[in-house]
A and B are shown apart, each in its own frame.
Chain A
Amino acid sequence: MSAINKNPDRDWVKQRLIGASLCVLIVFSLLFLRLVYLQLIKGAEFRRLSQTNCVRLKSIKSSRGLIYDRDNRLVVDNRPAFDLTIVLEDSGPVKETISRLSLLIDEPYEELMDSIEKAGKSAFYTPMILKRDISRDQLAIVEAHQFDLPGIHIDVKPTRHYIYEKTAAHLLGYLGQINRKELESGQYPNVRAGDSIGRYGVEKSFESFLQGKRGGRQVEVDVNGRVIKVLKTVEPVSGKDLHLTLDLILQKRAEKLLAGKDGCVVAIDPGNGDVLVMASTPSFDQNDFIGGISSKKWRALMDDPGRPMNNKAIQAEYPPASTYKILTAMAGLEEQVIDRNSRFHCPGFYKFGNRRYHCWNRHGHGDIDVVDSLAQSCDVFFYQTGEKLGVDILAQYARGSGLGRPTGIRLAHERSGLIPTAAWKKKRFKEAWQAGETLSISIGQGFNLVTPLQMAVFISAVGNGGALYKPRIVKSVRDAKGNVVKAIEPEITGGLPTSKENLAIVKNGLLKVVHGDRGTARRIRIKDIDIAGKTGTAQVFSRKAGEKFDNKKLERTMQDHAWFVCYAPAKNPKIGISVIIEHGEHGSSAAAPVAMELIKTYLGGTNTDIMVLPANEAKQE
């Protein structure tokens, strides 16, 4: 048996190489034959096609998925926009064509020429946009004069339309043109330069569903660039529709109630975490973003001290103020530092060390138990409860109740809030925790920060018996035929760290906030519906303990934020609400009425002053 090793056997190598050479020859013959076929047999035909350059590619934009509210009311749809385009190579003397066009549609000649220059050099035979979104009248004129306007075309494009303008702007979000970096990232395979993608809100977080797939046509055109034959077509695939948990009527009502104020309302279905309302004011009009927002408008939005571009429900952090007493009570009962019958004496202040910590009620609440302390928001009772618990135990309960961490809602930019501990302060300020600071913390002042959404989830959990839901904004994603592509199920992220018995005590207190004779929110009582809640007044800047200002004399921006969190009906809650009115001063007078109105609208069915298109009609629009 002969073997091949380092010094090859000539014959053997020769035999292998002849085989290889034959393969090369065969392949090259094949390639040559293909050339002969293309250049000789089909040559004349291809020559003709190349001379007229008549095979073009026309892209067909897909339409973005629609967005509905929880009752199938259309909230966001698409409308056709007519863009005027020009193919320079087809338009003969461009200046002549443009001046004719300018006369016909009554647009300044310079502006039209400008847009050609701005578009810069593009690939040949690629249409350039002369003017976006022309009016119906202009459209009619251009179509009637097609033959006088060589190279001018109308490009119909589905464009986003926010039917109710500013409604739920923060939740729905807006679109913006994709930038180069995003294009190159490869994350958006179906998106091309000039296309828009979701930039904010659900438009952003559900981009992959909403975005459709672009289609196009191979067409043969004549010398004027007019299509004479469609060779091949790929139909665009429209995006999937979103069905939100949002209640459009309630949302509009909330926005109306917030009008003229800076603030935020979040309402949640305590039974499943559905976000019924998420309103933040001031707001913005998403339609302004279509086709690119003007820098003037953008500046105005950015410079507005009311921060209209911020979704205050998730991006703003406030001290929870007295609403935090719910938590302090819960922790106190659970840790057994107080019980249902514990009473503390409130003379209007609490002496701690050599300082006096005041109750909001200078006259004092007298001997008071936990239920009445919640109802009347007695500070002294909670100073003492907090003092017995200590900051770290309080923080443990706060975190267990979903505060100080993102709720996990599918919206970008959610803030986590802040729940301080002794270790946190050491790390942050390199200072030891002062026992006095615990007193501030236990009534929700001091370092504590929460978002309105966290409070809504928290109060809903109190109402539903302890389940912390991940707030859900989209119930299902469906295709055009209505088939569910993806269902998003309610999700429980944890439970309140409390027993049913202790929770019942707290709930009793919250009910008395509205329905007790001396409850802080007794003015919002309504017929037939029990509301349980808690008011709060958050200091905008910290003052020394015991220091008292005449709020009326302060500038508006220095005035306190008004909180109200509640759920209703108290027995079997259908809605949990968190309201904050910035610089609204008192929870009871500024925030609580907003919640009451919403409850009336939602549970009482009174919604006379809100204009909403019926579900079917909106769809046809």
Chain B
Amino acid sequence: MFDRRLIENFDWGFLGVISLICSAGLVILYSAVTAGADSAALHTLLKKQMIWMGAGFVIMAGSLIIDFRELDKLNLFIYVICVGLLISTYLFGQMGGGSRRWLVMGAVRMQPSELMKISLIISLAAVYSDNVVSQEGLGFRNLIKPLILCLIPFALIVKQPDLGTGLLLMLIAGSITFFVKVQKKVIFTLAGIGLAIVPLVWFFGLKEYQKGRILTFLNPDRDPLGAGYHIIQSKIAIGSGMITGKGFLQGTQNALNFLPEQHTDFILSVLAEEWGLVGCGVFLILYLILLFWGLNIAYACRSMFGSILAFGITVMIFWQIFINIGMVMGLMPVVGVPLPLISYGGSSVVTNMVGFGILLNISMRKFTKS
């Protein structure tokens, strides 16, 4: 039986914000692919992105039918499927740029590590909402299961190797855990262990190029030919936009292909060059609205599972925005994290849309108690 209240409670405003960012994203992507040297090939990217977004909206709409609380029960099932996909990627995945990240199924190329983010958020929400947590927060015992849930996909993703996505996963998981609250002594102990592990990871865990990236970030002059040069060009692009920008399709840094990956990771540079501080400011505000809306959905939800879930998805979007923008502005090491809803990339678009679908779902069912 369909409940009329679901339609009455539908969060049109949130959908509006998402649609607005998506449309703006396509405009920027258009700019990024039009000016490039091989624009014909890149234009197909724009088409593809539109198809992915369309598909994203359909999946988002479709997922609204199922009550989000079903996810609580299905969490382990989803988790196992996603880990299975990661393992198949490891076994049969397609190589690209020296790592094995893509799984090809017919015409569709997907990155299971993207879907893993959502799956982990669901699982953590399920685990934490089941636990009776004292006022002081989670103790060591409460953290064993979540830790195992995190480490399996983390290991598989780092093995690909895709350290960026792996760390993003840990950041999301960590944020959710802190949101639920952790005992002080646990925090101190973990911090201590972390400090002890860092040197070990540095000497035994990281590949040369990964160490290189971190060192380059700390000292950009170290790699003036690679990341250092990209960051310089990206900064020139952003800075040259000044207050109002050079105008739509007028970005020279973008047009002359000085930007690396201008349609994926470095797309913000295109925005900043063509629309200036004003454009970037508007964008930051749009993102801010999106994030606060998400947090508000977490607040309004009456079930603990829903609250944690909503928070987890919001935090996932937050970290991606922060890392991507920080990276193109030279505040962070260059890691391959796309800008949500703007960067080209099917798996990323679909994952974010699924996330928004879940947020809308929680929002429209916020009044039903579990």
Query: Taking beta carbons and an 8 Å cutoff, which residues of A are in contact with B?
Result: 1-8, 13-14, 16-17, 20-21, 24-25, 27-28, 30-32, 34-36, 38-40, 42-47, 49-51, 53, 55, 57, 59, 121-125, 184-186, 189, 214-218, 231-234
Contacts and interface: CB of A to CB of B under 8 A. Distances in A.
A43 B307 contact: no
Contact of A31 (B221, B228, B273, B284): B284
Contacts of B111: none
B243 A50 contact: no
B257 A124 contact: yes
5 contacts: A6-B303, A6-B370, A8-B307, A17-B295, A216-B225
Top 3 A-B pairs, shortest CB-CB distance? A46-B239, A186-B98, A50-B240
Nearest to A188: B98
Contacts of B311: 17, 20
A559 B295 CA distance: 89
A216 B227 CA distance: 13
B277 A39 contact: yes
Interface residues of B, number: 67
A47 B229 contact: no
Given A35-B280, A39-B276, A50 B237 contact: yes
B197 interface: no
B99 interface: yes
B181 A40 contact: no
Contact of A46 (B38, B240, B256, B299): B240
Contacts of B236: 46, 49-50, 55
Interface stretch (B76-84, B129-137, B150-158): B129-137
Contacts of A3: 132-135
A232 B224 contact: yes
Contact of B221 (A28, A42, A57, A232): A232
Given A21-B295, A34-B329, A38-B239, A1 B134 contact: yes
Given A13-B307, A31-B326, A43 B243 contact: yes
Interface in B248-290: 252-253, 256-258, 272-273, 276-277, 280-281, 284, 287-288
A50 B329 contact: no
- Report which residue of A3, A31, A45, A121 has the largest number of chain B beta carbons within 10 angstroms of its beta carbon: A31
A2 B181 CA distance: 14
Contacts of A21: 292, 295
Interface string B178-192: 010100000000000
Contacts of A49: 236, 240
B264 to A, nearest CB: 16
Contacts of A121: 37-38
Given A3-B133, A32-B284, A53-B252, A59 B242 contact: no
Nearest to A123: B257
Contacts of A8: 302-304, 307
B283 to A, nearest CB: 10
A214 B226 CA distance: 11
B235 A24 contact: no
A55 B299 contact: no
B272 A35 contact: yes
A122 B257 CA distance: 10
B97 interface: yes
Contacts of B243: 39-40, 43
Contacts of B223: 234
B208 to A, nearest CB: 9
A24 B288 contact: yes
Contacts of A25: 288
Nearest to B36: A123
Contact of A5 (B98, B132, B280, B295): B132
Contact of B369 (A7, A24, A40, A214): A7
Given A31-B284, A31-B322, 10 more contacts: A1-B134, A6-B304, A7-B303, A24-B288, A24-B291, A24-B318, A34-B329, A38-B329, A46-B235, A186-B97
B305 to A, nearest CB: 7
A231 B288 CA distance: 38
Contacts of A1: 134-135
A21 to B, nearest CB: 6
